[in-house]
Each structure stands twice: as C-alpha cells, then as structure tokens.
Chain A
Amino acid sequence: MTAVPAPLVDAAESPDAPDEGRTSEGGQEMTSAQVLGAAERLRELGAVLRMSEAEAEGAAPEPPEGEVLADDQTMIINMGPQHPSTHGVLRLMLELNGETVLRTKPVIGYLHTGMEWTGEELTYMQGCTNVTRMDYAAPLFTELAFSLTVEKLLGIEAPERAVWIRMLMTELNRMSSHLLFLASNGMDLGAVSMMIYGWREREEVLRFFEKVTGLRMNHNYIRVGGVAADLPDGWRDDVLRLLDLIPPRLDEYDVLMTGQPIWRDRLQGVGMITADECLALGVTGPILRSTGYAWDLRRNDPYLAYDQIDFDIVVGSYGDCFDRYAIRLNEIRESMRIVRQCLDQMPKGDYRIQDKKVTPPPRARIDESMEALIHHFKIFTEGFKVPEGEAYVSVESPRGELGCYIVSDGTSHPYRMHVRAPSFVNLQSLPHMMHGGFIADAVAVISSVDPIMGEVDR
C-alpha cells in the first residue's frame, strides 16, 4: 500500500474548478435548460440512441423561436432521497413544465457501501454473507450468482439435490420479492390496503425461509458447493400450505386491482418503453418482457435445472406500467408452478458437494477427529483457494439479469468481484419512461421499475 495516487480527474470534475452553472454539489446534478446542448434536447424528446453533439444539432428539431422555455417557465425539482415512494434512497431531479416531466436524472449513491471492495477483502467462503446484502428483497439470487461463478472457477458442480433446493428457494424468493412489489406498487398508487395484503403474504414466505435458513432476509444459505443446510423436517407440508394459501390471495388481488377501473386508468399507457429502447439500454427482466420481448434466462440460457421444468414466460404487449404490474403478478403464479415441480422432483442425496476442499467436515466429525477440527478451522479462517481465471455467470433475478464477474488470482480471496445489478441498469430507463408524463405518474413509473437501492449502490 503506497500513498494515495494523484487523482485522475479532469478539470471540470476537480473541486477547485470554477463551477460554471453548477450547484455546490457539482456535476452530478441536472443542468439548467438554458445551457442545454442539442444532444440533451434530443434526450428530452425521449431519444435513446444518442449521437454526437454535431449529429444531434442536425437531428434535433430546433425549438421554435419564442417556444424556448425560459428558466422561469420550467422548474427543476428534487424528489428524494427521502421521498417515501422512491423505494429507499433514490433521488430524482425532474425538470417540469407545469405538471409535465421534461427531463429526469436519477442521482444515486446514497447507499453506497463499497460492497465490491468488501468482496475483495472477504474469502470466497465469506463472500455470500456480503453479496446477500445487495438485493435485500431477493437475497438468494445474489448468493446464487456468486456461488455459481465461484463453482465455475473451481470447476465443481453442486449435487443434484442442492440444485433443486436452490431452484425451490429462489422461486419462493421470486414470489416474496414480487409480493413485495405488489405491496409497494399498491401503496405508491394509493391502494394502501394492498400494502398490508402484500406484506402479509410475503411474511408467509419469509416464515418458511426462517425455518430453512434461520433468517428472514440476508440468508447466506446458498453457498459455494451447495446450500448451507438441508431442508428441515416438514418442509414439504410448509410449502404445500403456501401453495394452497397464495393462489386465492392472488385472485383477491385481481379483484382489488387488476380489473378495477381506477387502477387501470392509473397504470395503462403510463411509462411506455419499447423493446428496442430496452435492448439499447441493457434493460432486462419484467421491464423488457413487458414490451412483448420473451427473454428470460431461465428459458433462454438455462442454469440450474430449469431445462427440466415446465413453465411459461409471461410477456406484456404495451410496455406500460400496467403490463409490468400484471407480469409480476402472473410470474408469482408461474413460480408456484415451478415450486410444485420442485416438490415432485426433489431428489435425495447430498445438499452440498462432498469435496473436502470447499466443504467443511460435519459437526459430529469435529468431536471425534483432530484432523476434522483442524480442517474445519482452516477452511473457515483461511478459506479455500480458487484457481486463477475469470468468469461471469448470470441468473434471472426478479428484477432482471443478475450477473457476477469474478477474477481470481489463485488465492482464497477474489481479486475482483463485480456484480451486474439489474436495478442499477434498469434505472437508466426512468428518463425515457417519464418523459412527457405527469409528475403524479412519476411515482407509478418508479414503482414499476421496482429498484432495490441496496443493489443499485452496492
């Protein structure tokens, strides 16, 4: 460790530079409309495929004389980071013309805790404890992506039972995450009773998680080489109870929201996005599927044993907030189909790989064998070494493609661990969905993106 290197920042970014038209917070904020270039004006018109300033000059319609909105006609307002419907600490800067949103800029980083750096400090053994805190509504998915990447680097495979347990647990997690979405989506749009219902059903799923993993969130359950513990006695009855309990509740949601005219008026045609825009922006998950583009990694790039499972990809047709709501609601039903198949096909066998390199000895062995005790101690203090190399593995999280990129230098710590967080990328679709809409619809749009700020800021 040497001294801090000279920061490589350009002049405009350095704190000593004269702040031209900037606020005290600098360039992260939205610039005034008066200093807009043509490219920015195009963006205001909702263009996704951006071009150089010179090209944009040709393409962007010059605002007619007299229609250039003066500073006193538009207003830049700040929404968040403490706004209750920004799902945590998302901050948006909105330029408004009356009630119409012209431009939007998400400002993030309020929850940044350097988790990628922390991942480099922790061993692969401890890594799951760290990554599980990224997407706190769907923690098992980040654990899964991390574990699959490390397993790829190690060249090992989890035993079959572990694969199916992972599928069972992640699908249940998808249900709980989508139930949380339904709750918060309802709350954001004024259907406050929905919040209570969504949380109630989610709680049932979390109760099962608590029974299996010991924790309601941040489970650290899926680990390299398998899962932390086998499913407890009576798990099948618990899951069957869930599967009986939730479908009638979902039907109640249909009555409460799906067919309800106020709900439909509030969501239909709001926050539209096209498939081309989604592909260009890297947007994945329900937002991409809402445009009618059937892309789901479980089907298109199967991991675990999803190729042996029968399920449908739910797609929308208009790419609006209502489609995104309906997709998530119906994905809960699809997840229940998958869970049912997991119940039927759950194989017997080991729940973690019987590879002494990555799996600590069972507790009972420690009492009778000195070597087992040493082995146990070594594997938890030093961790296991992972051969050098790099790999990227992605899974379909409730929010889209969740990937993990790890560079290993042959030690027991990742040399670099990067998580491709779907919420982080999906947030970039906000300016396009909100452009031209009402400020009141902004809340509906944010809600339909379903960002988890722990994952955005990492």
Chain B
Amino acid sequence: MTVADETTPEASDEAREETHESAPEPELLHDCPVAWSHGQKVLHVPAGAYLKVLASLHTEGFLTCIDLCAVDYLTYELPRELPDGIEPQRFEVVVSLLAHQGARRLRVRVQVDATAPNLPTLFSMYPGTEAMEREAFDMFGIVFDGHPDPNRILLPEDWVGHPLRKDYNSGRIPVQFKATTDAR
C-alpha cells in the first residue's frame, strides 16, 4: 500500500510520457537516455551536455534542485546497468530535480571521469546547490568549475583526502586536528 501510494504520481507521469513517445524506442529526453528505477524517472546525461540539459530542464519547470550528491563506484562489483551510449565512470553525480507544477521529479545521473573529476557548477541556475556541491567536493573531491566558494564545508579546511571515496582509508588513520599555529 505504501509503495503503491508513492508510485501513483510517478506512474501517471510515466503514462503521460509514454503517450508522447512510442514505447519500443529507447526513451529520450533532450537526446539523453531515460531509465526507470522503481518507478522513478532517471535521466542519464553525458558530462559534456550536463549544463545544457540542466538549463533546458530548468526552463521546462524544474525550478528546484532538491538534492545533489555523488557516488563513488570504485568497488561496485556488479556490472553497472547504464543505458547504451553512457560509459560507466568511477564517479557519478546524482541531481534530484523537482518541478512543483504537477509534482514531477527527475533524477539526473552524470558519469564523472576519475582522472579529471570536474563538472560545471549549477550555481547560476540553482543557487541552492552551493552547499550541496561543496559537500560533494568535500566528500568526493569532485570539483565544480565556477563555484563561487569551492571550499570544504563539513570537514576542516586543511583536511587531506576525501573521506567518502571508496579508497580512502576510513577508520585507519588518526583523526586530524588543526595545528594552532598562532596564539589568538
């Protein structure tokens, strides 16, 4: 019952989407493949098109970025289920968008290369991502280009490493404390 209730708005959303696009074709939105995860709509966006697609979604009524977080898939052992054309990368940034009109939700997943973990910031469209992007940088080391305040947010400024990365030696190193260099 709980789950049925929850999927109701999403299920109607799904039905609406499928009337627009023929079912057998892979569903596309802004030329990006759409996947469905437990009745939730997920859009897989290539990193290059990230800003452009988000800008289009913003004009379509997704006015609020509800959440932005990152995932490190380094030790994920199963094959990743990604649509054709999306190359799995170590990092993934997950953006949850909300359109209050019609209570539509959309999750955008972006693969981020481990060698250069950079993404453009969403700050100019969604100023509310400021803290979330700082958290993703703090925990995963993903750099958001153009962010107005690219600093750590939860950990101390001089912390070394990004603790939610799967290759971070969590629990094996002593807690770092800041050196008090000057008497204040």
Contact = CB atoms under 8 A, between A and B. Distances in A.
Interface of A: 1-5, 7-10, 12-13, 15, 24-28, 39-40, 48-52, 108-109, 112, 114, 116-117, 148, 151-153, 155-160, 163, 279-284, 293, 295, 300-307, 388-394, 401, 403, 405, 407, 409-410, 415-416, 418, 420, 424-425, 427-428, 457-458
Nearest to A418: B69
A1 B141 contact: no
B21 interface: no
B41 to A, nearest CB: 11
B23 interface: no
B162 A49 contact: no
A4 B170 CA distance: 9
B6 to A, nearest CB: 5
Interface string B134-166: 010001010100101111111111101111110
Contact of A109 (B3, B153, B168): B153
B124 interface: yes
B67 A403 contact: yes
Tell me which of A9, A13, A156, A457 has the highest count of chain B C-beta atoms within 10 A of its own C-beta. Answer: A9
A304 B4 CA distance: 9
Contacts of A159: 1
A7 B161 contact: yes
Interface residues of B, number: 72
Interface of B: 1-6, 8-9, 37-38, 40, 42, 63-67, 69, 71-72, 76-78, 81, 94, 96, 100, 103, 105, 107, 117, 123-124, 126-132, 135, 139, 141, 143, 146, 148-158, 160-165, 167-170, 172-173, 178, 181-182, 184
B126 A280 contact: yes
Contact of B66 (A117, A282, A300, A306): A282
22 contacts: A4-B168, A5-B167, A10-B143, A12-B150, A40-B148, A108-B153, A109-B156, A155-B38, A157-B1, A163-B2, A282-B66, A282-B128, A282-B129, A300-B103, A301-B105, A388-B78, A392-B96, A407-B71, A418-B67, A418-B94, A420-B66, A424-B131
A416 B129 CA distance: 20
A250 to B, nearest CB: 30
A12 to B, nearest CB: 8
Contacts of A7: 141, 160-162
Contact of B154 (A112, A148, A418, A420): A112
